[in-house]
Amino acid sequence: MASFDRKVFTDLHNTLSDGGKAMKLINESHHKDDESIGLAQAKDVREFWLQRLVGKIHEAFDVYDKFEAFYGEPRTFP
């Protein structure tokens, strides 16, 4: 797709793929019924979220929003 070939999406994908232990905890936590995340693990996830992930997510949404504003389906904008 046209908007998803931008560098910001590649950067987001790489951040998600290289998230290490924190990304593994994010993915596993909603797949397991028998375990909860401890405080130390939550701190790792929070650090990953604040330092690496949240900015890239916001950038990607911003790029997609601008793409849709200029090239999106005009009928969806009354």
SS3 32: coil
pLDDT tens column, 23-68: 888 887 666 666 677 888 889 999 999 999 999 999 999 998 888 8
* Signed CA dihedral, 10, 14, 15, 17: sign only: positive
Q: 20 lies in which domain range?
A: 3-76
Query: Is pLDDT above 80 for 2?
Result: no
DSSP state of 49: I
Number of domains in the chain: 1
Within 10 A of 15 (CB to CB), how many other CB atoms are there? 16
Identify which has the larger pLDDT, 34 or 18.
18
Q: What is the mean pLDDT of residues 3-9?
A: 87
* Alpha carbons 9 and 60: distance in angstroms, whole number: 6
